[in-house]
Structure 1
Amino acid sequence: MSVIGRQQSSCVTVRTLPSSSLSRCAHGSASSEVATCGTPTWIGRGFTCVCFKRKGAYEPYCITLSPLQEERLQRLKHRMKVYFDAARPDHQDALRALWSATYPGQELQGLISDQWKAMGWQGRDPSTDFRGAGFISLENLLFFAKTYSTSFQHLLNKQGGKRATWEYPFAVAGVNITFMIKQMLDLDSSKSRTFVGTVFIQMLSENEWAFDLLYCVAFMVMDNQWLEKNATYMEFNDILKSTREQLEKELLSDDVLRIEDMPSYSLLC
């Protein structure tokens, strides 16, 4: 696997992406070890300058986004900028939909209720827990509940494995996972500064819901590591860090072109 080796200036040594997304970089220099392009050049609506290994040598190329990738990236960025607003009817409906998907057949007493604590929110009002990650964290949970209901229920009910006495709160953990993925992919920036973010953007052409799929994989990886390390709630941040490291490693694998190609995708059912 040829992934990031050494990094210098704005360019990184990375694996080859589809040639249709590349154009030869008109600036910078390259060597057999590290390629350096100085200040990145941004071409129109394109992406940043990165260096790809081609036939044993590193040559500078610039990634430009296809119209489809650009459209989906902008749509995802827009989703990430939406704060949860408890006064918005559509946000209220999304909360009710999450409840229905999580506890089918069980009536919700209200958007502010002690019932929410059973899902792993910090208090009676789940809207207060969305501040760090925004509305997309609720969308991620809802996507998980509807798309992979068996896995979702498995994690919600802490089934399987030797569980800690002091477990992580399911829903709040989900919000933290959304925030972690946003940071890992650097999608809050106007232009991604990480190669893993660049790789992910390429995946958007394969599936518009790549972010939500990655979220589901990340949740499974986090719980799997939680069990393997016999972790407790006080170690949650360490588990989240190791989860990120595993996700980055898998995303940067040469044979991973879609979220579904990630080895950890097999954890979902």
Structure 2
Amino acid sequence: MIPFTSLYWVLYWQLRSILKWALRQTTRLCELQRICYGKPSGAPRSAAVEYSLQHSKSALVQNALKELDAAAASRTIFGRNQKCLLEKSVRTVLKVKRINPTNHVAFIRNFSRCVEHIWGYKQLYHIVEELRLTQFDSSCENHERKLTRLWNGLCPDVPLEGRITKQWQDIGFQGDDPKTDFRGMGLLGLDNLVFFVEEYPAAARHVWSHSLHPQHGYAFAIVGINLTSLAYHLLEDGTAKTHIYNACKSLPTLRSFHQLYCYLYYEFDRFWIEAKPEDVMQFTFIKDKFEKNIRDMLADPNTVFKINFAVKTV
């Protein structure tokens, strides 16, 4: 006897094939055309195109997807290579689906944007993963310079007494040497913090001031690294696609990830202050509740997180 779930999927794929054939006959449009013409731009359209391509039975289409996957993994989707890959994938789909490019210029434009979203996201994941796996190295001048930039971004008028000093605890590190706190998220955690304090200095200092609250305060840097972990896992499991696809007009970049992080940190700070925790021991509970809220928001295909930091004196 075929298990119920197996029977369900057998029927699903049979009905899906029949429905696709029927719609093709009546509309004279393939599934990808119907998506690109009928779905709103951003996550609704790009997610539907991604699903359709993943389940294509065409060997030519699947080979094209493998080539795009390889380019994303090697982080080579940019410049001239990006243009060549995009044009090749479009030509493949036009050929397989027998689409006249002269009559469907809008399809080519919309489909190309979806391809940029889908494989730009995959490439972004590989870029982020490489940073996460890169451990902070005290002997690397570039790593040390980033650490100094973090300090100067938050405390421009206070000189560091030394490389290893208790001053680091003033901005939320656990000990005298910050490098030990980056083990979990690697260089990614530092890069996120540096981006926040340099791109949105007023907002970052506003959040940092909250972290110094005598009753409701928290460790700014440590919480920041925890939020790097949240942003990373949203990217890894695909939940962040909703925001990324809606926010990016073309190829998602590392800046897109940094901006998502900044949004998460600013909103978490607000969430934390409104929760009025008795002490930092409530961090895990509040962070988990915050993550659930974010994931619930991203379940809506129209969600896009807009950075509009309204800094007030609190």
Contact 1:92 1:111 in 2 (8 A): no
Q: What's the counterpart of residue 46 of structure 2?
A: 18
Distance change (3 Å), C-alpha of 1:94 and 1:195:
closer
Unaligned runs of 5+ in 2: 1-7, 10-42, 58-62, 73-113
How many Å apart are 1:266 and its aligned residue? 3.2
Aligned pair partner of 2:285 in 238, 244, 250: 238
Between the aligned partners of 2:145 and 2:296, the Cα distance in structure 1 is: 37
Residue of structure 1 in register with 2:218 after alignment: 168
What's the counterpart of residue 55 of structure 1? none
Match of 2:88 in 1: none
Higher mean Cα deviation, 92-101 or 196-205?
196-205
Q: Percent identity?
A: 24
Could you list the per-position Cα deviations for residues 219-262 of structure 1 after superposition, in whole angstroms to 9, with x for gaps in the alignment? Answer: 112111112221120110111112212222333333235x43xx
* Cα drift, residue 107 of structure 1: 1.4
Structure 1 counterpart of 2:239, from 186, 189, 196: 196
- Report the residue type matching 2:230 in the other structure: M
Find out whether 1:228 has 2:270 as its counterpart: no
Given that 2:242 and 2:301 are in contact with CA atoms closer than 8 Å, whether structure 1 keeps it comes out as no
**8 Å Cα contact 1:181/1:244 also seen in 2:** no
- In structure 2, the partner of 1:102 is 154
Deviation at 1:210, TM superposition (A): 1.5
Alpha-carbon distance, 1:120 to partner: 1.0
1:219 has 2:245 as partner? no
More strand by share: 1
Among candidates 189, 196, 199, match of residue 147 of structure 1: 199
| TM-fit CA distance, 1:75 | 2.4
- CA displacement at 1:121 relative to structure 2: 0.8
Return closer, same or farther for 1:130/1:99 CA change in 2, 3 Å cut-off. Answer: same
| Alpha-carbon distance in 1 for matches of 2:122, 2:256 | 14
Q: Which amino acid aligns with 2:285?
A: D
CA RMSD of aligned residues (A): 3.3
Residue of structure 1 aligned with 2:301, choices 235, 254, 264: 254
What do the CA deviations read for 1:96-115 (whole angstroms, capped 9, x no partner)? 11111111132112221111
Instruction: Report the 3-state secondary structure (helix = DSSP H, G, I; strand = E; otherwise coil) of the residue aligned with 1:83.
Output: coil
- Correspondence list, 1:55-94, <5 A: 65-66=115-116, 68-94=120-146
Distance 1:181 1:268, change over 3 A: farther
Correspondence 1:136 to 2:188 = yes
State the alpha-carbon separation in 1 of the partners of residues 244 and 133 from structure 2.
Answer: 17
- Alpha-carbon contact 1:120-1:170 (below 8 Å) kept: yes
**Contact 2:132 / 2:188 at 8 angstroms: preserved in 1?**
yes
Question: TM-score of the superposition, structure 1-length normalised?
Answer: 0.68
Asked if 1:266 corresponds to 2:312, the answer is no
CA contact (8 A) 2:173 2:220 kept: yes
Q: Distance in 2 between matches of 1:151 and 1:113?
A: 26
Per the alignment, in what secondary structure is the counterpart of residue 157 of structure 1?
helix
Which structure's residues are more often helix, by fraction? 2
Once the two structures are TM-superposed, the CA of residue 165 in structure 1 deviates from its matched residue by 1.7
Is 1:222–1:239's contact at 8 Å kept on the other side of the alignment? no
Determine helix, strand or coil for the equivalent of 1:158: helix
Map of 1:184 onto structure 2: 234
- The answer as to whether partners of 2:227 and 2:264 remain within 8 angstroms in 1 is yes
Q: Counterpart of 2:218 in structure 1: which amino acid?
A: Y
Q: TM-score, normalised by structure 2?
A: 0.59
Q: Which residue of 2 aligns with 1:61?
A: none
Distance 1:268 1:179, change over 3 A: farther
Larger-gyration structure (1/2): 2
Q: State the aligned residue count.
A: 216
